Structure 1
Amino acid sequence: MTSLQTQARALGDPTRHAIFQYLVEHSRAVDVAELTAHLGLHHNAIRQHLAKLLDAELIVESTVPNGGPGRPKLVYRVDPSTDSRWGPNGPYERLSWLLTELATSDTTPVEIGRRATAGDPIDPETSAVDALTAHLTSTGFDPTVEVDDSTVRFVLGPCPFASTAALAPKVVCELHRGMAMGIAERAGSITVEDLAVVDPHQGGCVLTCRLG
């Protein structure tokens, strides 16, 4: 599993995502007590979630004097190398926005997803296959590309949004199919034909496209 997918899966848990977003928004070191007060959870639960974020290299841990006798206090902040990838405009946050739009409109998940990628940057020098690969990779799907004449299959790794996709697979998967369609339309010379969905926790979903 790539570091990108490890990070995406770590942020797939709503509580860990909330902790990470709190650290992003405050741009300073935060201790367990502050996170406990903010989220209303037991400090042991907060520590377990922080450990997962540390393992995924999404945050960094350091110590500061505690203002009295005893051991220094542990504090946490966002790893600077991940802020731009998983900050306020990261994939998990984007999915939240898309689900909100879906709940408040009559538009289909595919159309919402297709419109969502209308403004995504695409390198004009890259091929359509590379553009779709870059999109799927940045979203955390860790795709393997198989090309057979004019057919291109993107075999996806375990879904970084598995917890949400397991509850509403048709909605979440159709949103991502629409997003891929939007990228394909802008890249040109490639068409999304199908998304075969399997267990999101196991991976192996296949996005089938046709060149030309």
Structure 2
Amino acid sequence: MDAVFAAPPSTTRLFPESLSLSAKQREVLDTLNGYPNGTGAAEISTVLGVHVNTVRGHLEELEEQGLVRVSSAPSGGRGRPTLVFQVRMPDVVGVAQEYLCLIKILVEAMEPEGEITREDHARARDIGRRWAQEVPSQLGDTDGHDNAIASLLMLFRQMGPDPLKQRAPHPVEESTAGTVIQLNACPLVKAGSQPSQFICAVHEAYLRETLDEQLKGKIRLTLFPRSARASCDIVAIPCSAHQCSTGVSTSAPSASA
């Protein structure tokens, strides 16, 4: 019988954020993370001041969830081998930096120098749409302007742009009927870098695909990439206060961006 080859599963399953851990389990996991080569339940028990059997129980639960691996080490005597527990979870920041570096290299390979063309914009929009279809994001309650804004803020918080609700009017969009959402971080660039036009076009298309249908007839969103205050801004205006047939539109970056 021929061997079946398969790649390892996604690293994301090892992120503790993807699992529902109790406060005590997380405390044990965080303590164990301070031992790169692993340690025994007795050591964790001493550090936390908790009975060793309690610690061992938490470690076994973490092992069942795939966040901890266990191996045996010689006891040095006639007793049973000592169980050594070691975390399997990766450094989330390190993984994110690796992904962002890969994104940067891929974009540089696709993006021409200087201004991007219509064809480049079309390709970026196609990538953004496909990305949104691959990882759909569902808004919460969108009935009523305040509920829709709260749902948008929650979605953007989960996505990583560090949203901040501001009062209208926006420096460019002068309507006072809506709400300004200031996005203060870009989840698609490394620290100290600026997103390229291509990346911005991809992200814009992702937002369009994600939000258009969910907000159609309720809110008109206008995107302002690269504002003068080093943020990307979104102005959300209720359709009751503005005639709108589409969910998301885009304004060109300001001259001071």
- TM class by shorter-chain length? 0.3 to 0.5
TM-score (normalizing by structure 1): 0.45
More helix by share: 1
TM-score (normalizing by structure 2): 0.39
